[in-house]
Amino acid sequence: MRILITGASGLLGHDLVDCFQEDEILAPRSHELNILEPNQVCNFIAGHKLDWIIHCAAYTDVDASEAHQDLAFAVNRDATTSLSRAAAETGSRLLYISTDYVFDGLSNRPYEPHDSVNPINIYGVSKAAGESAVRNHASQWLIVRSSWLFGGARVCFPEKILLAAASQPLVKVVNDQIGSPTYTRDLADAIRRLVRKEARGTLHVTNSEHCSWLEFAREILRKAGRQTPVLPISSVDSQRAAKRPPYSVLSPLALAAHGIRLRPWSDALDAYLDELRRMRKLR
């Protein structure tokens, strides 16, 4: 298959390129394909006869989105609209990566794909708008929502915790947000399997089980052999610009119907720490 991956140099995109080595991958840099230019998007996709477009590129800075709303919507909604239209015109299938932050976090059970979205920050609103663009303009599409991504390709939450623990006497982490940490290599493999199955619709793909950010941080340090204490703080005390959903666990039931189950996040964390050791980022 010929597959275009947008955002191929990012946290997930990097691992997707590795996962699809048996296929013909197009992974253009921004100077080769500017997804903010609709005409360029249309011409690029029309000229390459793509089987799939996996759209990973996104504006993902949750706090900065509050101050830079135009940019968040330009990347997460408008560029997605351009890609969706171009996919429909050329008969390409489109896979859009979305987020648990499209939900408000008020549920008392894991969110199902069909649950109503109600984002509480600009990032979530812009990603929900991207989902709507896919549904309204693409003809063959799959939306994959995931959460709390971590991986070796870019500095992310676990590595930040390790760096903080190496330079500070203690680390403070919020204890009132619950979700499912997801290893990008596991997510990329699940996406590869869904593409092979030509899956459609909306699916939730995360590592199994859930925790708070505080529990995640403590497990990172414990598994890395670090003794730095981690103190709980509230979301209010963290003074972040954007609100976060207090509970954003995504249900795996629809994914399981495709015969796909991801390992627990704690097991995936072991694999991630091994990856850091191979990269000489952890000893």
Query: Catalytic site residues?
Result: 123
Of 202, 161, 190, the closest CA to residue 268 belongs to 190
| Structural tokens at position 10 | 């990012």
Of 111, 208, 197, 215, the closest CA to residue 161 belongs to 215
In sequence order, what DSSP letters do the residues of 33-67 get, joined into one string?
A: --TT-HHHHHHHHHTT--SEEEE------HHHHHH
Residue 100, SS3? helix
Q: Which amino acid is at 132?
A: S
| Structural tokens at position 189 | 């493999």
| Structural tokens at position 132 | 């709507």
CA distance 204 to 262: 11
Rounded-to-10 torsion of CA 145, 151, 157, 159:
180
Rounded-to-10 torsion of CA 88, 44, 70, 183:
80
Of 174, 181, 180, the closest CA to residue 233 belongs to 174
Beta bridge partners of 212: 178
Q: What are phi and psi of 202, to 5 degrees?
A: -120, 130
Q: Which helix (H) or strand (E) holds 131?
A: helix 122-137
